[in-house]
Chain A
Amino acid sequence: MKALMFGWEFPPHILGGLGTASYGLTKGMSLQQDMDITFMLPKPWGDEDQSFLKIIAANKVPVVWQDPEWNYLCQQLDGRMSPEEYYRYRDCIREDFHHIGTSGIGSIEFSGRYPDNLLEEIGNYTAVANVVCRSLDFDIIHSHDWLTYPAGVVAKQITGKPLVIHVHATDFDRSRGNVNPTVYGIEKYGMDMADHIITVSNLTRDTVIYRYGIDPAKVTTVHNAVEPISKEIENIQPIKGSKDKVVTFLGRITMQKGPEYFVEAAYRVLQKTQNVRFVMAGSGDMMDKMIRHAAYRKITDRFHFTGFLKGNQVHEMLKSSDVYIMPSVSEPFGISPLEAMQVGVPTIISKQSGCAEILYNAIKIDYWDIDAMADAIYSIITYPSMYSFLKNEGKKEVDEIKWEYAALKVRKVYDMVLGH
């Protein structure tokens, strides 16, 4: 079976959880012998792992007919695409995209991030999909997250192949309910047009059903999983300066992640114990507010901000922690607690996170219940058996959550849509 996937992020250059999930899922699916995946990205960097799937660089696909000189073409393609492939796509240009500013070879530039002109990039991406889908042979279209829904819909309209969309998040999660009408419009349009919808948790499934008015029969939950940790990461040594216990919040410091509840819980714990430090790692639009809040509570001597962590720093931080906490107000899934559990860190998650649906050996609290949160933190740092139980059992549990199994469920959805 051949699948054409539209995605926005792919490791190693990722900005959020979407890239990690796309990678894990496609890798898991590639384990199925007859599965053939083509994955379109706005701007690949060239160092992506292409051993198990084919990546199409959207920023090299011609949407306007040009006849560049061979050397110039090769230089422009920069190894991301072969000239033969380029010509194949050029033969499939059917619509006029002259209104889009194109480069010398007729392709469009992408930032590959989430710029201010995001809507324009989405439109351009859709134009590229218009060309690509005509030249490829596939059985099913799979769009990851709202940015690529329009591309999926276009491909479906052109080829008549069924469309599956994968909801990694909705705007309700990102905005605590104050949705952006344009974004909502795009999401709703994609969901209406899709033949089937895959959500990453039942929480998201409910949002899709109740907030977007989608027929429940059309929505299936496939929980995310986590990649096994590599040797390289396993060998990272924890750095720990003092004997104090470390409680870590790791993620974007935004409204969605509930950082203020963490500060409040820290304040409560510090009233009672002194041998503990709190770390808020990451950056985001609420960071300054959080620093001010910690100062207001007079706990800054024990409450630390690291700023944005890159690459291995993330795992260093995780490994040096005694407790990982994710008090998200609304989290479609949240892979990071699973990653913390992989390196043996006891984890506290909010009940409003999708991953709470599949995790047992983690403490679950309501994000607003700071007393319960403080109590859970205190319990892990005070009672040794609680720490070791969560550490060992948590690791055991999370090692059994594999992308392979998630991929099988996705495959089932494909088969169902195709009527196999």
Chain B
Amino acid sequence: MKSICFYFQIHQPFRLRRYRFFDIGNDHYYYDDYNNEEIIRRIAENCYLPANNLILQLIKENNGFFKVAYSISGIALEQLELYAPEVIDSFRELAKTGCVEFLGETYAHSLSSLNEDSEEFETQVKEHCNKIEALFGMKPKVFRNSELIYSDAIGERVAQLGFKGMVTEGAKYVLGWKSPNYVYCCANNPRMKLLLRNFKLSDDLTFRFSDWAWDQYPLTADKFAGWIAETPESEKFVNLFINYETFGEVQKAHSGIFEFLKALPEFAKQKNVSFATPSDIIDQYMPVDQISVPYPMSWADEERDVSAWLGNELQREAFEKLCSIGERVHLSQDRRLLQDWYYLQTSDHFYYMCTKHFTDGAVHSFFSPYDSPFEAFTNYMNVLSDFIDRVNSQFPEGIDNEELSALMKLINTQENLIEKLTEENKALKECNANAEMAVSPAPKKRVCRKKAESAELTETSKTEKKAKSAKSSEKEEKPKTARKRKTTEK
């Protein structure tokens, strides 16, 4: 029996407002609230809610036969919580059915996996897992990187984070003659299983579904299930990884996309095709081969590489500037800064700066809130300049990160020590007071008692001494830390 493995991607960036350079240093709010709310509400109404309802209905009608997986970026979840909380509720309901899997990804839908020198990637993945667990009560086991970016090195990093599998693009230049309809494994770590997107069938839904000029128009569920059934005998599944917005937003409701989805399980049953989640497939099948991807690939554009985000000088400068500040942001632990830091890392900001005009430019400008890539760059850099200033103002100038982190560590340990010692001191004082209380009301006692008392007394005096020494050490340390603070605050 063959399976269809559906995975839907949901992501919306926090779009930036028009941020002129005279705002740098004056205004620290970067987001276009009106636009963000308007877009997420629109998509929620056209796509997320109707599609979720339909999928819930299909799952219930088919008693666990119909299964799907979602990958929702942390940023998108935050926006949904802010502007369309009912969507979160409907996802919760889907999660309860047990037929829905949530995949892990980077919290900010960021390009952090491409920055090998920093821990940012790991931090974000953990953050995202926590968020998913908090909202839907399940821990992601399969990973999907932003925009399906994958390379051997990334596969290895993901494996170290404890994921058993990863989904990525079945790019022609990587696969060659091989079919994407098998499980593969990572070249650097054979335990890491890979599911590859069947881009032909996925794009049939995303781009060609309502294209009259396409020779297969109209695409029916019957025909589509037939194609999957007709794949060679040994190919056991087909990975359809698509943007969730395909339902109702890219392909409008009137194109019949919902009816297509509704009819799919029925026709799949007839053609002896079932549904599976990425985890099911990874548990069920062994890899047939390893694939080697030395340079990062993605699912974007004709090139299927990362040139849509880091293809030109502008994008690279912006990305480098952004990465350079990362360590400091984490050192500062300021919550507002950390939030902005995530929002600014979203890959979409870089996508808008793409200058590949002629072939894919149309797709880029379709999604972009800017008139031109230059405007996108200028606006982003203005925001980033302000952000960097804010981060730097948290720390004194002229200290490099290593020194800073050493100082921060010192301050932290000292602070902890002080706390510990004060507590100990307090406890001892109390103890001492108790002891004194115990001593004073009983002056006349028998000898044996006195003996016991004297023993007690010697003990308390000992502890008193200890406390004194602790105090003195504290006194010694306090000016030290104060001095340190002064230097850091300069």
Contacts and interface: CB of A to CB of B under 8 A. Distances in A.
A45 B357 CA distance: 45
A388 B313 contact: yes
Contacts of A386: 314, 317, 374, 377-378, 381
Interface stretch (B17-25, B405-413, B433-441): B17-25
Nearest to B316: A385
Contact of B381 (A364, A374, A383, A388): A383
B216 interface: no
Nearest to A387: B313
Interface string A370-390: 011011101100111110111
Interface residues of A, number: 23
Nearest to A269: B21
Interface string A57-95: 000000000000000000000000000000000000000
A364 B312 contact: no
Contacts of A272: 21-22, 24
A171 interface: no
B372 interface: yes
Taking each of B314, B317, B371, B378, which has the highest tally of chain A beta carbons within 10 Å of its own beta carbon?
B378
A271 B25 CA distance: 13
Interface in B340-365: 355, 357
Interface in B364-402: 371-372, 374-375, 377-379, 381-382, 385
- Which of B21, B24, B381 has the most chain A CB atoms closer than 10 A to its own CB? B21
Interface in B1-40: 20-22, 24
A384 B313 CA distance: 9
A371 B20 contact: yes
A268 B377 contact: no
A384 B374 CA distance: 13
Contacts of B377: 379, 383, 386
B372 A363 contact: yes
Contacts of B385: 382
Interface in B299-326: 312-314, 316-318
A109 interface: no
Contacts of A379: 21, 374, 377-378, 381-382
A363 B314 contact: no
A354 to B, nearest CB: 17
A393 interface: yes
B22 A383 contact: no
Contacts of A385: 313-314, 316-318
Given A360-B357, A364-B372, A375-B382, A389 B314 contact: yes
A272 B316 CA distance: 26
Given A363-B375, A379-B381, A386-B377, A374 B20 contact: yes
How many of chain B's residues touch chain A, expressed as a range? 20 to 34
Interface in B117-133: none
Contacts of A388: 313
A389 B381 contact: no
Contact of A375 (B20, B312, B372): B20
B314 A374 contact: no
A272 B22 CA distance: 7
B317 A364 contact: no
Contact of A271 (B22, B371, B375, B382): B22
Contacts of B372: 363-364
Interface in B168-183: none
A383 B317 contact: yes
Contacts of B371: 364
Contacts of A372: 375
A207 B427 CA distance: 89
A5 to B, nearest CB: 34
Nearest to A363: B374
A275 B382 CA distance: 17
Given A384-B317, A386-B374, A374 B357 contact: no
Interface in A365-420: 371-372, 374-376, 378-379, 382-386, 388-390, 393
A311 to B, nearest CB: 32
Contacts of A390: 374
Nearest to B361: A360
B20 A376 contact: no
A376 B312 contact: no
Given A364-B371, A364-B372, A379-B381, A389 B22 contact: no
Given A360-B355, A363-B374, A393-B355, A268 B22 contact: yes
Closest 9 CB pairs of A and B: A385-B317, A379-B378, A378-B21, A385-B313, A389-B313, A363-B374, A375-B20, A383-B381, A385-B314
27 contacts: A272-B22, A363-B375, A364-B371, A371-B20, A372-B375, A374-B20, A375-B21, A375-B378, A375-B379, A375-B382, A376-B374, A379-B21, A379-B374, A379-B377, A379-B382, A382-B381, A382-B385, A383-B317, A383-B377, A383-B378, A385-B313, A385-B314, A385-B316, A386-B378, A388-B313, A389-B314, A389-B355
Interface of A: 268, 271-272, 360-361, 363-364, 371-372, 374-376, 378-379, 382-386, 388-390, 393
Given A383-B377, A385-B316, 18 more contacts: A268-B22, A272-B21, A363-B375, A371-B20, A372-B375, A376-B378, A379-B21, A382-B381, A383-B378, A384-B317, A385-B313, A386-B314, A386-B317, A386-B374, A386-B377, A386-B378, A388-B313, A389-B355
